[in-house]
C-alpha cells in the first residue's frame, strides 16, 4: 500500500485464546499482525496459521500483537465455533482468534468485507497508529513477513 489508511475495526462475534475481547483501538501503540484464515483452507492450515503462531511466540508482546480472524465465506454449516475450538486445540494455536461476524445479507463476513479481502489466507500489517500498511492474499514467505513487521516495529511510536 502506498498511502496508509486507518484499519477498519474488527467485527467479531466471539474471541478465543484471550481473557477479554480485543480491539484495534486498544492495541494502538503496537504493531498488529492480523491474519485471516479458515480452518478448511489448505494454505491456511499448512502455512498461514503455523506462521502466525511462530510470530506470536517470537515477538515481544510489548511491541507486536498477533491476532487471528476466522472469517468464514464458504462451508458455513461445518465451520462452527465448536469446531474451531477443536482445531485450535489440535494445532496448538495459542494466539488470540476472533470469529468474524457473519453477514445475514450475504456469504462474506463483515470484517472480510470491510477490508476488501479476496480470500484466505490474508495477512494485514497495522502500524502503531492503527493504519493498515500491508494487506496480502496468499502464502507469504516468512522472511518477507518478518521484514515487514520489523520495519513497522522500528518506526517511532508517535502519538497513540
Half-sphere exposure of 87 (CA within 13 A, CB side): 21
Q: Which three cell numbers stand for residue 77?
A: 454449516
How many angstroms separate the CA atoms of 95 and 34, rounded? 11
Cis (ω within 30 of 0) for the bond into 85? no
- Model confidence pLDDT, tens digit, residues 29-51: 999 999 999 999 999 999 999 99
Give the CATH number, domain containing residue 111.
3.40.30.10
Residue 158 in this model has a pLDDT that exceeds 90? no
- Model confidence pLDDT, tens digit, residues 100-156: 999 888 889 999 999 999 999 999 999 999 999 999 999 999 999 999 999 999 987
Segments forming the whole domain that contains residue 105: 5-19+26-154
Residue 149: inside a domain, yes or no?
Answer: yes
pLDDT reported for residue 78: 76
Name the CA radius of gyration of the chain, rounded: 15
- Range list of H helices, the chain: 42-43, 49-58, 81-90, 110-115, 142-154
Residue 118: inside a domain, yes or no?
Answer: yes
Residue 68 or 61, more confident: 68
pLDDT reported for residue 157: 66
State how many domains the chain has.
1
Residue 159: inside a domain, yes or no?
Answer: no
Amino acid at each position: 500500500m502506498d498511502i496508509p489508511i486507518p484499519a477498519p475495526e474488527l467485527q467479531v462475534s466471539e474471541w478465543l485464546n484471550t481473557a477479554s475481547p480485543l480491539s484495534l483501538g486498544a492495541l494502538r501503540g503496537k504493531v498488529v499482525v492480523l491474519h485471516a484464515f479458515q480452518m478448511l483452507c489448505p494454505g491456511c492450515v499448512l502455512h498461514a496459521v503455523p506462521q502466525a503462531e511462530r510470530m506470536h511466540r517470537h515477538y515481544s508482546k510489548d511491541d507486536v500483537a498477533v491476532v487471528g480472524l476466522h472469517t468464514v465465506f464458504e462451508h458455513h454449516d461445518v465451520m462452527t465455533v465448536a469446531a474451531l475450538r477443536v482445531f485450535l486445540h489440535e494445532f496448538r494455536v495459542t494466539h488470540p482468534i476472533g470469529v468474524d461476524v457473519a453477514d445475514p445479507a450475504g456469504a462474506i463476513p463483515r470484517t472480510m468485507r470491510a477490508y476488501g479481502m479476496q480470500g484466505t489466507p490474508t495477512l494485514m500489517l497495522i502500524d502503531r497508529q492503527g493504519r493498515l500498511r500491508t494487506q496480502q492474499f496468499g502464502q507469504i514467505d516468512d522472511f518477507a513477513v518478518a521484514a515487514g513487521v520489523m520495519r513497522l516495529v522500528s518506526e517511532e511510536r508517535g502519538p497513540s
